[in-house]
Amino acid sequence: MPKNWLDALGERAFILRAGAWVLPGAGGTYDPLKPTMVVEGSTWAGPWGLSGTATIFNTTYVPFRATPYFAGGTPLFDVLLRRRIDAGAFQLLAGYRGLGIANVNFLSAGIAGWRPLPISWLRLEARALGGHNLGFGGSRSFAEGQALLTAHEGPYAFSLGFRHLSMFSTVEPVVNVSGPLVQVRADF
């Protein structure tokens, strides 16, 4: 019997995720037909992995925010080196996050993990990531977390959960954006 779902699938060289993050739009209302799109790819060699994620913000309503951090079309990029531990149930993360505008470049670190539920094809996944700005701009640091309930069958998975992002600035109030997250995944 395999120790975990990753062993059951066999070692996968490439994992692709695509999803929709529903954030508040004009006036603070949620419109599931205008989500922020998220695409992630990762490749693995044993316990070491490298991933790249692009989050393309739709127009996101953030009261009091005058700068264009979450304006429509603003890209958020993550490049993370990953290290699996505990038979793949946890990952240590370290890398770079850039927000597609000047002086918003972060050195980031975090942890991700999953735990099985009593139903064999269902698991809980969580990720926490934080970082500090490498530049001298107004954005000092960020903190992000997400929690997902994931159903998986073979190399495919469907996840439903919640993602929250806070950006801390030296010149403006804390910016918080959060909302439901839906993802599909395929392992190759």
Q: In one letter, which amino acid is 71? A: A
Which has the minimum average pLDDT: 42-46, 92-96, 122-126, 143-147? Answer: 42-46
Q: What is the pTM of this model?
A: 0.85
Sketch the domain layout of the chain as residue ranges: 5-187
pLDDT in tens, 81-127: 999 998 778 999 999 998 866 667 899 999 999 999 999 899 999 99
Query: Residue 8: which pLDDT band, with cuts at 50, 70 and 90?
Result: very low
Domain 5-187, CATH among 2.40.160, 1.10.150, 3.55.50, 1.25.10 = 2.40.160
